[in-house]
């Protein structure tokens, strides 16, 4: 969602940092460290509490690079089972990059590099022997733009269970597909259209189809990258309700540009700025009493 209150400070900086800018290597050091100073001006970052009870995902000192671009700087964050955590921050601050580290989607990006340690349920996900394919079946992801496959609604949802062999026969597959569509709140609308292409649904329906597709493989965590940015308020409200329901069973990490959305759906909020995690806290505290000046500036719309 395009919240008019959100000013994008990353814009100016990011463009000066763009790849191909000849003076990058030497030039970027000064503005970047200036920003770092500005961020730490109010003391150490991050402020708030990056730890949580009963952590399920633990990211320790994670750094991510795209070639020379240092997109994530030393981020440490814990995420609990069955909680919704919202990642907010100006455009280009690394929210997408961070959640793509969590399911190793950055593996397929050329020049991308991740350092640090991320564990899922105690297991290091960047460990040598670990198969990212298995990992991604445990950590589902919903993208900013709905991306249903050019297949029927049914086949879209059945795709994941099929490749993972989750259903023994057709009846079981039917159950999984219907159950997932039901949970995604889409079954009623598409009951008679299961054979039609998923790409012919409306945008909001497509996004719920993508959510259904994700929960059909029964993941433990769902990552959502601005899942409502292409949707109208009604479709957004439906997805937010859905997130509330799903939160009972899954850990959900949602990236959003809408403060209202973060306030509505999340239990904790993490504020990123220029690749750094600046503040993490309970949602109420962040929005009523932010500790860091940058966080306060951002949520009051003063950053720029």
Ligand X SMILES: Nc1ncnc2c1ncn2[C@@H]1O[C@H](COP(=O)(O)OP(=O)(O)OP(=O)(O)O)[C@@H](O)[C@H]1O
> In whole angstroms, how close is the CB of 229 to Mg ion at the nearest point?
9
Residue 232 to residue 2: CA distance in whole angstroms: 11
Residue 297 to residue 301: CA distance in whole angstroms: 6
Integer angstrom CA distances of residue 84 from 108, 122, 145: 27, 20, 21
> In whole angstroms, how close is the CB of 148 to another protein at the nearest point?
8
Half-sphere exposure of 63 (CA within 13 A, CB side): 9
Residue 253 to residue 221: CA distance in whole angstroms: 8
Decide if residue 108 touches another protein (CB under 8 A): yes
CA 187 to chain centre: 25
Per CB under 6 A, the list member of 52, 69, 158, 222 interacting with ligand X is: 69
Decide if residue 34 touches another protein (CB under 8 A): no
Residue 103 to residue 142: CA distance in whole angstroms: 12
Residue 75 to residue 276: CA distance in whole angstroms: 6
Which residue, 279, 282, 277, 304, is CA-closest to 292? 279
Segment interacting with another protein, rule: CB under 8 A, options 71-79, 122-130, 148-156, 232-240 = 148-156
Residue 40 to residue 169: CA distance in whole angstroms: 57
> In whole angstroms, how close is the CB of 123 to another protein at the nearest point?
16
Decide if residue 273 touches ligand X (CB under 6 A): no
Decide if residue 125 touches another protein (CB under 8 A): no
**166-205 footprint of ligand X as x/- string (CB under 6 A):** ----------------------------------------
* Interacting residues with another protein between 199 and 218 (CB under 8 A): 199-200, 210, 213-214, 217
Rule CB under 6 A: which residues touch ligand X?
Answer: 14, 66, 69, 71, 89, 91-97, 109
Rule CB under 5 A: which residues touch Mg ion?
Answer: 96
Rule CB under 8 A: which residues touch another protein?
Answer: 103, 105, 108, 110, 133-138, 140-141, 143, 145, 147-151, 159-160, 163-164, 197, 199-200, 210, 213-214, 217
């Amino acid at each position: 969602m395009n919240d008019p209150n959100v000013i994008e400070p990353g814009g100016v900086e990011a463009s000066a940092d763009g790849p191909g800018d000849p003076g990058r290597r030497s030039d970027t050091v000064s503005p970047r460290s200036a920003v770092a100073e500005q961020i730490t001006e109010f003391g150490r970052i991050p402020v708030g509490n990056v730890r949580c009870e009963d952590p399920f995902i633990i990211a320790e000192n994670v750094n991510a690079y795209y070639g020379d671009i240092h997109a994530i700087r030393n981020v440490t964050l814990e995420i609990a089972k069955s909680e919704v955590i919202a990642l907010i921050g100006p455009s280009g601050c690394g929210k997408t990059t961070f959640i793509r580290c969590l399911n190793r989607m950055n593996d397929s990006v050329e020049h991308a590099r991740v350092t640090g340690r991320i564990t899922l349920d105690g297991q290091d996900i960047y460990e040598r022997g670990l198969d990212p394919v298995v990992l991604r079946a445990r950590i589902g992801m919903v993208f900013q733009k709905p991306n249903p496959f050019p297949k029927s609604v049914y086949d879209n949802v059945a795709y994941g269970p099929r490749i993972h062999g989750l259903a023994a026969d057709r009846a079981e597959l039917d159950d999984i597909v219907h159950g997932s569509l039901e949970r995604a709140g889409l079954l009623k609308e598409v009951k008679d259209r299961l054979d039609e292409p998923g790409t012919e649904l409306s945008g909001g329906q497509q996004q719920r189809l993508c959510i259904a597709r994700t929960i059909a493989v029964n993941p433990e965590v769902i990552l959502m990258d601005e899942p409502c940015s292409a949707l109208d308020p009604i479709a957004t409200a439906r997805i937010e309700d859905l997130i509330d329901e799903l939160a009972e069973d899954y850990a959900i990490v949602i990236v959003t540009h809408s403060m209202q959305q973060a306030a509505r759906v999340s239990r904790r909020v993490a504020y990123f700025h220029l690749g750094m995690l600046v503040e993490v806290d309970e949602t109420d505290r962040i929005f009523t009493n932010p500790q860091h000046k940058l966080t306060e500036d951002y949520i009051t719309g003063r950053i720029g």
